[in-house]
Amino acid sequence: MSIVPEGPIGDVELSRSLWLAGYFEPCNPKTMFPDTPLIEFSQKRNIDDAVALYQSAYNSELVVDGHAGPLTRDHVNSRSCRVPDRMMEAQSAWPRSCMKEITCSHRLAGLKPLSSEEENQAWLEALSNISAVSGINLVNTDDHERSHIYADVGSMGRGTLAWSYLPNGNCSDRMEQQYNRSKNWSYALLLEVMVHELLHACGLGHSDDQNSIMHPTVTGRFTSPQTWEIQELQERYGEPETPGPSGGQKVGSFVFNGKTYDIVDPEKSTDVIGGLI
């Protein structure tokens, strides 16, 4: 996820970006790529069709005319998440039998200029903020070999900040994620991207709503699931058993469908006389 486009995007790169996002054909959720190579589409299908489909998906921001003008190219260029918009399966989710303990681990290091403590704190806060609003419980673990969701760092091209796999309805699935170590990070940016990618790992796709944390371009405004994400999570996993996760210090709250949910910092706890440990 890059907030500022990195220069003009050419026709070849535009075609590849639309292909990777699923606008020539929906991507395979198991591979995150289309099954048909891009070269075959370039021989038999006009890129204008893919451009128009992309514009239709973001019609609140773009004019649908099939023309790859500067606004459309900048919009494609500003995409910060590598996860496709269009995939073969409309909805993915973890089975109810394992949603109460989806283990999550990371080996995030070197996301400059953040310290390892800040990287870990952002990870724990992201897990907590998602678990607070639905029946899925994301649990941190150091068991990197057996965790359901595993995050690492890697190198990525152009404006991409991160990517994640989506679940395929199997408790034995392992959802890998990567965060771009070549970008400059802030704590707020990392937290927003982590929540975005973890929501992918919970089964959510992208949203065309700019007020959604699942919009494919970073806005720098969100630290937790918004209205659309909460609805999608609760459709898959139900409401949380209790408002907010147990343990930790309350650092905020929000109201959804008439219920108040606490946002909790899991790194802070309160002792019996009310002081911070």
CATH class of 102-265: alpha beta
C-alpha distance from residue 222 to each of 70, 226, 272 (Å): 27, 8, 33
The SS3 call for residue 89 is coil
Domain locations in the chain?
A: 11-77, 102-265
Predicted pLDDT of residue 255: 55
The single residue listed with the structure tokens 């147990």 is: 246
Distance of alpha carbon 103 from alpha carbon 138, whole angstroms? 6
Distance of alpha carbon 98 from alpha carbon 174, whole angstroms? 13
Predicted pLDDT of residue 4: 31
The SS3 call for residue 39 is helix
Nearest 5°: CA angle at 270, between 266 and 276? 95
Kind and range of the H or E run holding 236: helix 227-237
Identify the segments of the chain with pLDDT beneath 70. Answer: 1-10, 42-45, 89-91, 158, 242-277
**Tally of CB atoms within 10 A around 248:** 19
Distance of alpha carbon 216 from alpha carbon 52, whole angstroms? 18
Predicted pLDDT of residue 275: 24
DSSP E strand stretches across 165-232:
175-180
Predicted pLDDT of residue 34: 87
Give residues with Cβ within 8 angstroms of 132, minimum separation 6.
Answer: 224, 240, 243, 244, 245, 261, 262, 263, 264
Class of residue 43 by CB neighbours under 10 A (exposed 0-12, middle 13-18, buried 19+)? exposed
Residues 191-243: tens digit of each pLDDT: 999 999 999 999 999 998 888 999 998 877 899 999 999 999 999 999 997 65
Class of residue 237 by CB neighbours under 10 A (exposed 0-12, middle 13-18, buried 19+)? buried
Give residues with Cβ within 8 angstroms of 160, minimum separation 6.
Answer: 1, 2, 79, 80, 81, 82, 180
